[in-house]
């Protein structure tokens, strides 16, 4: 490239610059460069451009000259802003009005004597009717059901249930069609008079087991109180809450997963003998027991071996789960002989905490039941044979007949054989059948006046 003495390009170079295709001229143009600014003077003029390029340039230039359109857009934006301001002001007014309505709803709630959260609470039908009136008024004023329920602290599902069930019904949620019949009341009274020592829970379970009546223990207590057959309630002292160990935080889901063993003393002909019990924690069934003059590692291993043979634990494969045994820190339980013999049979020992009876609470509860219903009723047994016979009878009654609260009222032997799920399903079917019978009976009673239940 040729330059003059003062640093500018020569004329010949300027005229040939647009057509120059030298490989060294492909550098980028810097707008701050003086050379490039002067070179821009010799770009192609508009008169030399094609007609299509000129038309595009005119359209772009025409789109830039939009003063009138800009004024119209500004006018539309101002109108939109004014509309938004009016809407915001109206929303503020509506919000204030909703606030007033909600304050009135809270005031009416307090006038009804209701305070705090009402979710999960059983309310009489008069209060339900009053709350439904408040909700209907609020909905007529434009409030949503969710909003007014949040103010009154009511579950919306409860409102739908109240509307489905008449609020003037005098009985619970069944509309008066699930009342206990006179025939069922007579059966409860008859059984209570025959066994006056039984309380409401055991009476309800006994009637359910025999299929005579499916009535809850609360209703049985009401029937006993109405007929003067109820027992005096004596409240004991509250026991301290001791947190359990880690192994007690896992509930066994089937039999032969967790066993417990413990012992108590028995007075036989003026001398102490010891009753050792092995219990399955899932079904609460006594698997084996023994009455011994002393408790050593030999007696513990003997009782465990009997339970293993009865449940056929020794026939399980090595990869199958075998019971874990919960014991206290007695010398007979922690001895080397006991550990070696139980490990050979595949049992793992879990030791409960020292001085913490809650570590083996289920076994302690079963022994307490045996003491309360059999052992403490005898001042002393005449001989060992009588003690074995009476304790064997009490354990059989406990396993096969006595309803167990931990099993939902079912006997331990039933739960051990069938599992808790199938028994619970049978109970639900029986209760539904009884409810259908009552509904049909009271409907017939309402139609005929004095219909007799057949």
> Which pLDDT belongs to residue 14?
44
Q: What is the pLDDT of residue 99?
A: 52
Backbone φ, ψ for residue 342 (5° rounding): -75, -35
- Which of 28, 19, 20 is closest to 1 using CA atoms? 20
Q: How far apart are CA 201 and CA 405, in angstroms?
A: 9
pLDDT at 304: 94
CB atoms under 10 Å from CB of 140, counted, come to 8
Domain boundary among 108, 129, 164: 164
Look at residue 193 and tell me if it is in a domain.
yes
Residue 157, token pair as written in the block:
């599902």
Q: Is residue 116 part of a domain?
A: yes
pLDDT at 206: 92
Domain shared by 135 and 187, yes or no: no
What is each CA distance from 154 to 103, 120, 194, 195, 367, in whole angstroms? Answer: 16, 9, 46, 45, 46
Same domain for 379 and 310: yes
Output the DSSP codes for 400-433. Answer: HTS--GGGTT--HHHHHHH-HHHHHHHHHHHHHH
Please tell me the total count of domains within the chain: 3
Residue 346 in domain: yes
pLDDT at 224: 94
Which residue range(s) make up the domain with 352? 246-402
Residues 128 and 225 in one domain: no
In a domain, 410, yes or no: no
Q: Which of 134, 164, 194 is the last residue of a domain?
A: 164
Same domain, 338 and 433: no
The pLDDT, as a whole number, for residue 142 is 84
Q: How far is Cα 411 from Cα 284, in angstroms, rounded to an integer?
A: 9
pLDDT for position 84:
63
> What's the number of CA atoms in the CB half-sphere (13 Å) around residue 340?
5
What is the b/e burial string over 261-292, where b = at least 16 CB atoms within 10 angstroms of the residue's CB? bbbeebebeeeebebbbbbbbbbbbbbbbbbb
Task: Tell me which of 164, 190, 215 is where a domain ends.
Answer: 164
Can you tell me the distance from the alpha carbon of 151 to that of 105, in angstroms, rounded to the nearest whole number? 8
In a domain, 295, yes or no: yes
First vs last C-alpha separation in the chain = 124
Instruction: Tell whether 415 is covered by a domain.
Output: no
Structure tokens at 217: 């223990």
E strand segments, 4-104:
none
SS3 258: strand
pLDDT, residue 255, reads 92
192 and 157 share one domain? no
Query: CA nearest 213: which of 186, 235, 240, 232?
Result: 186
Same domain, yes or no: 197 and 98: no
Distances (CA, A) of 197 to 146, 203, 379: 51, 10, 20
Same domain? For 250 and 228 the reply is no
Looking at residue 200, its pLDDT comes to 92
Instruction: List, as one string, the DSSP characters of 296-307.
Output: -HHHHHHHHHHH
Residue pair 89/124 in contact (Cβ under 8 Å)? The answer is no
Cα–Cα–Cα angle for 210, 213, 216, nearest 5°? 110
**Confidence (pLDDT) at 90:** 53
Please give the backbone phi and psi of residue 300, each rounded to the nearest 5 degrees, phi first.
Answer: -60, -45
Per-residue pLDDT of the chain (454 residues; tens, 9 = 90+): 444 444 444 444 444 444 444 444 444 444 444 444 444 444 444 444 445 444 544 554 454 444 554 555 555 555 666 666 655 555 444 444 455 577 888 888 888 888 888 887 878 888 888 899 889 988 888 888 888 898 889 989 888 888 876 555 444 445 567 889 999 999 999 999 999 999 999 999 999 989 899 999 999 999 999 999 988 878 888 766 555 555 556 678 899 999 999 999 999 998 999 999 999 999 999 999 999 999 999 999 999 999 999 999 988 888 888 998 999 888 899 899 999 999 998 898 888 876 666 778 899 999 999 999 999 998 899 999 999 999 999 999 999 999 998 898 999 999 999 999 999 999 999 999 999 999 999 988 876 655 444 4
Q: What is the pLDDT of residue 46?
A: 45
C-beta separation of 134 from 152 below 8 A: yes
DSSP string, 133-199: HHHHHHHHTT--HHHHHHHHT--HHHHHHHHHS-TT-SSTTTTTSSPPPHHHHHHHHHHHHH-TT--
- Give the Å distances, CA to CA, from 41 to 31, 44, 79, 398: 13, 9, 48, 113
Per-residue CA distances from 338 to 327, 333, 347, 360 (Å): 11, 6, 11, 18
Residues 191 and 147 in one domain: no
Instruction: Say if residue 384 is in the same domain as residue 286.
Output: yes
pLDDT at 4: 44
Q: What is the pTM of this model?
A: 0.54
DSSP strand pairing (348-351 vs 324-327): parallel
Residues 153, 255, single domain; the answer is: no
Looking at the fold, whether 252 and 333 belong to one and the same domain comes out as yes
Among 256, 260, 261, which Cα is nearest to 316's?
A: 256
Does residue 191 belong to any structural domain of this protein?
Answer: yes
Q: Do 375 and 268 reside in the same domain of the chain?
A: yes
Residue 204 belongs to some domain of the structure: yes
Question: Measured between alpha carbons, how far is residue 102 from residues 105, 146, 149, 151, 157 in Å?
Answer: 5, 12, 10, 7, 20
């Amino acid at each position: 490239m040729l330059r003059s003495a003062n640093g500018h390009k020569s004329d010949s170079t300027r005229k040939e610059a647009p057509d120059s295709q030298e490989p060294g001229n492909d550098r980028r143009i810097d707008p701050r460069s003086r050379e490039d600014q002067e070179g821009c003077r010799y770009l192609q003029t508009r008169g030399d451009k094609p007609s299509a390029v000129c038309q595009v340039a005119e359209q772009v230039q025409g789109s830039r000259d939009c003063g009138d359109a800009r004024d119209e857009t500004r006018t539309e934006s101002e109108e939109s802003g004014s509309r938004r301001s009016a809407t915001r002001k109206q929303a503020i007014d509506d919000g204030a009005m909703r606030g007033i309505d909600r304050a009135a709803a809270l005031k009416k709630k307090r006038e009804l004597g209701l305070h705090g959260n009402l979710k999960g609470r059983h309310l009489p039908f008069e209060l339900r009717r009053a709350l439904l009136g408040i909700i209907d008024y609020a909905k007529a004023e434009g409030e949503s059901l969710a909003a007014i329920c949040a103010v009154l602290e009511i579950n919306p599902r409860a409102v739908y249930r109240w509307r489905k069930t008449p609020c003037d019904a005098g009985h619970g949620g069944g509309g008066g069609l699930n009342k206990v019949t006179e025939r069922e009341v007579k059966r409860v009274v008859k059984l209570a008079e025959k066994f006056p020592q039984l309380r409401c829970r055991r009476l309800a379970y006994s009637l359910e087991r025999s299929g005579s009546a499916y009535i809850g223990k609360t209703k049985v207590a009401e029937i006993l109180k109405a007929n003067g057959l109820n027992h005096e309630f004596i409240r004991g002292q509250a026991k301290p809450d001791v947190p359990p160990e880690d192994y007690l935080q896992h509930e066994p889901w089937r039999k032969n997963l967790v066993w417990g063993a413990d012992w108590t003393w028995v007075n036989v002909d003026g001398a102490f003998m010891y009753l050792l019990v092995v219990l399955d924690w899932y079904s609460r069934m006594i698997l084996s027991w023994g009455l011994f003059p002393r408790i050593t590692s030999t007696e513990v291993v003997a009782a465990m071996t009997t339970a293993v043979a009865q449940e056929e634990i020794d026939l399980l494969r090595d990869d199958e789960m075998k019971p874990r045994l919960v014991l206290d820190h007695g010398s007979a339980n922690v001895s080397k002989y006991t550990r070696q013999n139980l490990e050979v049979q595949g049992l793992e020992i879990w030791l409960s905490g020292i001085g913490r009876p809650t570590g083996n609470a289920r076994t302690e509860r079963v022994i307490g039941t045996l003491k309360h219903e059999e052992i403490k009723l005898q001042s002393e047994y005449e001989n060992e044979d009588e003690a074995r016979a009476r304790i064997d009878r009490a354990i059989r009654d406990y396993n096969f007949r006595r309803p167990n609260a931990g099993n939902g009222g079912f006997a331990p032997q039933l739960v051990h054989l069938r599992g808790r799920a199938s028994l619970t399903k049978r109970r639900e079917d029986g209760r539904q059948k009884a409810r259908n019978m009552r509904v049909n009976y009271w409907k017939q009673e309402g139609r005929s006046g004095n219909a007799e239940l057949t």
